[in-house]
Chains A and B, each alone.
Chain A
């Protein structure tokens, strides 16, 4: 059974601070890793994807992957109130002709003005 674990939060940070979101996964065969942002009542929106160990930066967002530790994180620099949302970690695994994303339950982030 593939599992993806996230702290449910809420995680509260002041505006302008760095928000750090963490995720662990159970399937060592997982090959792709994603962070989605979901506003209340809306659909998931892709923020970052990462496939290799190390850091990947895109604007204010940095994703970090450590496959040995089965750990993925997302840093949001200069947090803004508009970043307040639930952040979903998703792990992709392919095999037997199929491909699935397994999602964590999400971390609710609140950025305080």
Chain B
């Protein structure tokens, strides 16, 4: 049973370019969460998605960042016009059930984004 998959594992972009990060949840999981971890910082919630729906994007920066989870294919976190401050590890997590108070999230290996 494959775990949460993310690609690419490492991504280098120059300032102003676009970054696309992909996440495939665990088999049977239909809920995806994206987190960002800056160096020496904890993980910060960005967005929670179900298939074809953004449930909660309260942690997402208002500009340049967007996320989707289409009916077919992986979830995508898109960062337009990247800046050096976007350099971080981006983790995706998935869970199987509708939101509940006892939901466990399983994390993917992360994408390390470096903006030059």
Using an 8 Å CB-CB cutoff, how does the interface string of A7-39 with B read, 1 for contact, 0 for none? 000000000000000000000000110101000
Query: Residue B56 at the A interface, CB < 8 A?
Result: yes
* B93 surroundings in chain A (CB, below 8 A): 101
Q: Indicate if the CB atoms of A103 and B43 lie closer than 8 Å.
A: yes
* A112 surroundings in chain B (CB, below 8 A): none
Q: When the two chains form the complex, which single residue of B40, B58, B107 contacts A44, counting CB atoms closer than 8 Å? A: B107
Closest Cβ of chain A to B56, distance in Å, is: 4
* A104 surroundings in chain B (CB, below 8 A): 42
* A98 surroundings in chain B (CB, below 8 A): 48, 55-56, 58, 99
Q: When the two chains form the complex, which single residue of A88, A99, A103, A106 contacts B99, counting CB atoms closer than 8 Å? A: A99
Q: With contacts A98-B48, A98-B99, A100-B56 known, is A46 near B104, CB below 8 A?
A: yes
Query: Residue A94 at the B interface, CB < 8 A?
Result: yes
Query: Residue A61 at the B interface, CB < 8 A?
Result: no
Query: Residue B44 at the A interface, CB < 8 A?
Result: yes
Q: Indicate if the CB atoms of A99 and B91 lie closer than 8 Å.
A: no
Q: B41's closest neighbor in chain A, by CB?
A: A105
Using an 8 Å CB-CB cutoff, how does the interface string of B26-63 with A read, 1 for contact, 0 for none? 00000001010000111111001000000110110000
* B42 surroundings in chain A (CB, below 8 A): 4, 88, 103-106
Known: A97-B55, A98-B99. 19 other contacts (CB 8 A): A43-B107, A46-B104, A88-B43, A92-B103, A94-B99, A94-B101, A98-B55, A98-B56, A99-B56, A99-B103, A100-B45, A100-B48, A100-B56, A100-B58, A101-B33, A101-B93, A101-B105, A103-B43, A103-B44
Show 28 A/B contacts (Cβ-Cβ < 8 Å), sorted by A. Answer: A31-B101, A34-B104, A36-B107, A43-B107, A44-B107, A46-B106, A49-B102, A51-B101, A88-B42, A92-B101, A92-B102, A94-B99, A94-B100, A94-B101, A94-B103, A99-B48, A99-B100, A100-B33, A100-B45, A100-B48, A100-B59, A101-B35, A101-B93, A101-B105, A102-B45, A105-B41, A105-B42, A106-B42
- B residues whose Cβ falls under 8 Å from a Cβ of A: 33, 35, 40-45, 48, 55-56, 58-59, 91, 93, 99-110
